[in-house]
Amino acid sequence: MSERPVFVLNGPNLNLLGKREPEIYGHTTLADIEAACRALAQELGLALEFRQSNSEGELVSWIQEAREAASAIVINPAAYTHTSIAIMDALATCSFPIIEVHLSNIHRREPFRHHSYVSKVAQAVIAGCGAHGYLLALRHVAYLLAQSR
């Protein structure tokens, strides 16, 4: 098991997964995603810190905490993807892998969703794979961490 956990951070309204717009986001809940991530992390030998907040400031604080405590960040910033320079700036201070995840393909949606501040500081972006995107992100983190040893 890695000493430093991978922080999986989730932005606003993701606590409503399974109830909110299932035609876009599916029926999988955030608790389902967390359980799947924990199972895969154990298989990959990764420690995991899984969190969700509707508050931009709390997400920034968690990113700052991760700077010292984490080995990587997987982040689904949700709507803050398109608006938060604060989250981008916080992520830019991290010296480890950052993987951006979106359940839907943001490039097939409304034009305002096509721009991501987070993508400017992420090593990779996974979009349109539904809940499976989180598992792809964790596998990629494990690969990147193994390459850096």
Cα gap 70→102, rounded to integer Å? 21
Q: Are 98 and 91 in contact (CB under 8 A)?
A: yes
Place of tokens 């992390």: 41
Q: CATH assignment of 1-73+87-107, given 3.40.50.720, 3.50.50.60, 3.40.50.360, 3.40.50.9100?
A: 3.40.50.9100
Q: Are 109 and 25 in contact (CB under 8 A)?
A: no
- Token couple for 133: 């995107």
Q: Where are the beta strands (DSSP E) in the chain?
A: 6-10, 48-52, 72-76, 98-102, 124-127
Of the candidate ranges 24-38, 57-71, 82-96, 100-114, the one whose mean pLDDT is the lowest: 100-114
Question: Which residue is catalytic, options 25, 80, 117, 134?
Answer: 25
End-to-end CA distance of the chain: 14
102 is catalytic: yes
- Token couple for 91: 């992520």
Domain boundaries, the chain: 1-73+87-107
Residue-wise pLDDT tens digits, 46-76: 999 999 999 999 999 999 999 999 999 999 9
Cα gap 122→31, rounded to integer Å? 25
- Token couple for 32: 């389902």
- Please tell me whether residue 74 adopts helix, strand or coil conformation: strand
pLDDT above 80 (res 22): no
pLDDT bracket for residue 135 (50, 70, 90) = very high
Q: What is the value of pTM for the model shown?
A: 0.92
Question: Which residue is catalytic, options 80, 102, 117, 134?
Answer: 102
